[in-house]
Amino acid sequence: ETGVTQSPTHLIKTRGQQVTLRCSSQSGHNTVSWYQQALGQGPQFIFQYYREEENGRGNFPPRFSGLQFPNYSSELNVNALELDDSALYLCASIPREAGPLGGDTQYFGPGTRLTVL
């Protein structure tokens, strides 16, 4: 039990639509990373937020955006959904004492399974 929750657990959208995925971290976890895990692959880093600002981004287009809120929750927004966006989306939070580097202290949520038709 990591104390990281994500909602919804499953979501079905159609191509071109927009989606918002949510993550709630433990109190004191001021860094959150988002990952995309396609079927049969390992998680791929999308971006990280530290103290409510983007703090690094992977190889994902600008239609992937995020927000982090003072209450340790965060959102991943994806615009103009494409079929290839179908994946499991994971958020991982990092305790304040670990700083934004994370290391072995990234606590993952159970993920949101997004299907784009």
Partner 1 sequence: DQQVKQNSPSLSVQEGRISILNCDYTNSMFDYFLWYKKYPAEGPTFLISISSIKDKNEDGRFTVFLNKSAKHLSLHIVPSQPGDSAVYFCAASALRGSGNTGKLIFGQGTTLQVKP
Binding-site string for partner 1 from residue 46 to residue 65, where x marks contact by CB under 8 A and - marks none: --x-x----xx-x-------
Q: Does 111 interact with partner 1 (rule: CB under 8 A)? A: yes
Q: For residues 21, 6, 25 and 19, what is the CA-based torsion angle, rounded to 10 degrees?
A: 0
Using CB under 8 A as the binding rule, whether residue 94 contacts partner 1 is answered as yes
Between 10 and 15, name the residue whose CB sits nearer to partner 1: 10
Gap between the Cα atoms of 50 and 107, Å rounded: 15
Based on the shown chain and the rule CB under 8 A, indicate whether residue 70 belongs to the binding site for partner 1.
Answer: no
Would strands 10-13 and 112-116 be described as parallel, antiparallel, or unpaired?
parallel
Contact with partner 1 (CB under 8 A) among 87, 92, 114, 116: 92
Binding of residue 4 to partner 1 (CB under 8 A): yes
Provide the 10 A C-beta neighbour count for residue 33: 26
Residue 114 Cβ, how far from partner 1 at the closest point, in Å?
15
Residue 50 to residue 16: CA distance in whole angstroms? 29
